[in-house]
């Protein structure tokens, strides 16, 4: 009984010490967090300039990301307009042509089909051109039956090419055409923009790390004597490093918020022209911003870059500061 009671008492003491240690650890970090914010407030002008530079640097790749999101929605409308024109043999009557159009429409990679009879094609051509009198003088209708095939917009380029070959294989098909060069250029432009977004994002991320690191380096030099005194009385590098790390995190957090504000201002400034653009496409897509998830990711990235840039600089500078 005594042994069990002593064991419980020891466990209770251990848990109490652990709780006390955790509370002390949390209090120390909270104190450093508040001190770092107070230090930025005391040097508000220099801190404001640093935050503005970080905000502009983060707003550039974030704005490019927003542009890519909206461009992908716009290209969905472009892809939906891609059609394969299937020209049938002139001997094919309307009944056979419409039956073939239904067969093609049942294909898993086809989104929509439209059968255009020779009479409908001639009427549309007369309406769209100025050759009505010349066409009326022709002895007959020179236009063949046509099936306009709209592929699934999400199909990759290779699958669309395979679909084109399948359509050409029908016995009643004279010819099938697709503007593949335009489609290839579209995919090449999108791939280039994606690669450019990654390259620019990485370069500007490095710029944020450099900006924060340079700011913290100046702060360390200004507090060099204080750091030497702290080392002389036995303070560890981790203890000295902690307030600077939180300063870097605050710079990254404030810069990310500034980037969000700048993006909002740019979006409002461009709302008119962008509205005209969406209206010209029949409101087929809606303009989208970062959203809550994207904004949270930008803040996390900003804090991580600020913390990382500060950690690199502080670790290097503290190695060169020793008490005299």
Question: Residue 238, CB half-sphere, CA atoms under 13 Å: how many?
Answer: 3
In a domain, 127, yes or no: yes
70 and 191 belong to one structural domain: yes
Q: Which domain holds residue 237?
A: 32-77+186-319
Task: Clarify whether residues 149 and 244 are in a common domain.
Answer: no
**Cα angle at 275 between 271 and 279, to 5 degrees?**
175
**Residue 26 is assigned to a structural domain of this protein:** no
Residues 253 and 304 in one domain: yes
Whether residues 190 and 173 fall in one domain? no
pLDDT higher than threshold 70 for residue 9: no
- Neighbouring C-alpha atoms within 13 Å toward the C-beta of 13: 6
45 belongs to a structural domain: yes
Per-residue pLDDT reduced to its tens digit, 71-129: 766 665 555 567 788 888 888 888 888 888 888 888 888 888 888 887 777 676 666 66
Quote the CA–CA distance of 34 and 269 in Å, as a whole number.
36
Spatial CA neighbour of 159 closest among 108, 86, 206, 226: 108
Q: 322 burial class (0-12, 13-18, 19+ CB within 10 angstroms)?
A: exposed
The answer to whether the Cα torsion of 254, 255, 258, 260 is positive or negative is negative
Does some domain include residue 18? no
Is 2 part of a structural domain of the chain?
no
Query: What are 147's strand-pairing partners?
Result: 86, 115
Cβ(212)–Cβ(54) below 8 Å:
yes
CA 293 to chain centre: 11
Number of domains in the chain: 2
Question: Is there a single domain that holds both residue 228 and residue 313?
Answer: yes
Domain-embedded: residue 252: yes
Q: Could you tell me if 73 and 193 lie in one domain?
A: yes
Residue 253 near residue 303 (C-beta atoms within 8 A): yes
14 within domain boundaries: no
CA-based torsion, 36, 302, 245, 223: positive or negative: negative
pLDDT value at residue 185: 74
pTM: 0.66
Residues forming beta bridges with residue 305, ordered by sequence position: none
DSSP 43: T
198 lies in the same domain as 263 = yes
- Strand pairing report for 110-116 and 146-151: antiparallel
Least confident interval from 7-11, 33-37, 61-65: 7-11
Encode pLDDT of 255-300 as tens digits.
999 999 999 888 888 777 766 766 665 555 566 778 888 899 999 9
17 domain-assigned: no
| 134-166 pLDDT per residue, tens | 555 556 666 788 888 888 877 777 788 888 888
Same domain flag for 59 and 197: yes
- 315 and 272 share one domain: yes
């Amino acid at each position: 009984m005594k042994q069990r009671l002593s064991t419980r008492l020891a466990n209770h003491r251990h848990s109490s010490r652990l709780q006390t240690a955790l509370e002390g650890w949390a209090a120390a970090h909270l104190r450093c967090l508040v001190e770092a914010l107070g230090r930025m407030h005391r040097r508000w002008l220099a801190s404001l300039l640093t935050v503005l530079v970080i905000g502009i640097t983060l707003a550039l790749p974030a704005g490019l990301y927003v542009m890519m999101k909206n461009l992908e929605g716009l290209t969905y409308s472009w892809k939906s307009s891609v059609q394969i024109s299937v020209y049938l043999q002139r001997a094919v009557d309307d009944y056979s042509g419409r039956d073939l159009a239904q067969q093609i429409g049942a294909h898993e990679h086809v989104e929509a089909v439209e059968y255009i009879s020779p009479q409908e094609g001639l009427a549309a051509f007369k309406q769209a051109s100025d050759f009505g009198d010349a066409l009326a003088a022709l002895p007959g209708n020179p236009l063949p039956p046509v099936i306009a095939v709209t592929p699934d917009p999400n199909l990759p380029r290779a699958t669309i090419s395979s679909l084109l070959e399948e359509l050409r294989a029908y016995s009643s098909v004279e010819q099938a055409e697709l503007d593949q060069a335009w489609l290839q250029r579209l995919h090449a432009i999108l791939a280039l923009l994606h690669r450019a977004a990654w390259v620019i994002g990485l370069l500007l991320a490095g710029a944020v790390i450099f900006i924060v690191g340079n700011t913290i380096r100046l702060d360390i030099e200004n507090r060099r004597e204080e750091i030497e005194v702290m080392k002389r009385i036995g303070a560890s590098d981790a203890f000295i490093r902690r307030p600077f790390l939180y300063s870097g995190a605050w710079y990254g957090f404030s810069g990310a918020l500034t980037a969000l504000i700048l993006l909002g201002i740019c979006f409002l400034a461009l709302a008119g022209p962008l509205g005209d653009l969406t209206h010209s496409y029949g409101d087929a897509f809606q303009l989208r911003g970062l959203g809550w998830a994207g904004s949270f990711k930008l803040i996390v990235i900003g804090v991580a870059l600020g913390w990382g840039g500060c950690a690199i600089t502080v670790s290097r500078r503290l190695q060169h500061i020793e008490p005299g």
